[in-house]
């Protein structure tokens, strides 16, 4: 354990990234008999699954270098509705029953490849005046999230079967797939939200090299 710098976890849906960190910290500390420092290198939304890189001990000071890496996601975008959170956990609003053609889908998604300006969701871990945006939003405060420039290196439509689009995309650090889904819905004029999200790669780190959270209880 002393030489371990990183742990790759395939985060399950329904659990926060902080919850994963706390569980791994507890497991490692119990195994070693002393408190082990554990940190994450970029959160995943609770509904999302996929690759989390955890840093151990002294490697925690290098966490930001991991968080700046490009990322690859697979996402399901559900058309015709919007969500207050941009994901399945929010309040849904029906927008349209129009069924776009596949050519319309590809034309709309192609407009978000390259350097784009994006507004992050209010329900996010971004800090506004020292507080997490999602905490302010849950408290009923109106928040104007600042726009940011991000890069979408590629965006491929893997499958389209209304009302769902399955995409695979490689993006720069700081890109929100929930916002991308909402922007695509607006471009189509029918609304959309991200119903499923899976992170498969961070830099050169791959989901194939990760372990299930439950596996780590028996490794150290």
Active site (catalytic) residues: 45
Query: What residues does 73 pair with on adjacent strands?
Result: 169, 199
Burial of 13 (0-12, 13-18, 19+ CB in 10 A): middle
**b/e sequence 30-49, b meaning 16+ C-beta within 10 Å:** eeeeeebebbbbbbbbbbbb
Q: What is the 3-state secondary structure (H, E, C) of 101-156?
A: CHHHHHHHHHCCCEEEEECCCCCCCCEECCEEHHHHHHCCCCCCCCCEEEEEEEEE
From the CB of residue 130, how many other CB atoms can be counted at a distance below 10 Å? 5
Report how far apart, in Å, the C-alpha atoms of 147 and of each of 10, 20, 45 are.
30, 29, 20
């Amino acid at each position: 354990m002393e030489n371990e710098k990183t742990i790759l976890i395939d985060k399950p849906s329904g659990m926060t990234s902080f919850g994963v960190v706390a569980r791994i910290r507890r497991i490692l500390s119990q195994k070693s008999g002393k408190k082990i420092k554990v940190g994450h290198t970029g959160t995943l939304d609770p509904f999302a699954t996929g690759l989390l890189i955890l840093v151990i001990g002294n490697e925690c000071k290098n966490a930001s270098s991991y968080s700046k890496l490009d990322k690859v996601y697979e996402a399901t975008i559900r058309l015709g509705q919007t969500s207050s959170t941009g994901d399945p956990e929010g309040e849904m609003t029906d927008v349209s029953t129009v069924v776009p053609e596949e050519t319309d889908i590809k034309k709309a998604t192609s407009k978000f490849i390259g350097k784009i300006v994006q507004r992050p969701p209010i329900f996010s871990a971004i800090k506004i005046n020292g507080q997490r945006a999602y905490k302010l939003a849950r408290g009923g405060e109106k928040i104007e999230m600042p726009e940011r420039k991000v890069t979408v290196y590629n965006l491929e439509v893997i499958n389209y079967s209304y009302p769902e689009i399955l995409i695979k995309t490689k993006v720069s650090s700081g890109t929100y797939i929930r916002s991308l889904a909402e922007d695509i819905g607006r471009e189509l004029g029918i609304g959309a939200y991200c119903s499923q999200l899976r992170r498969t790669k961070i830099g050169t780190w791959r989901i194939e090299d990760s372990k299930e959270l439950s596996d780590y209880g028996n490794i150290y």
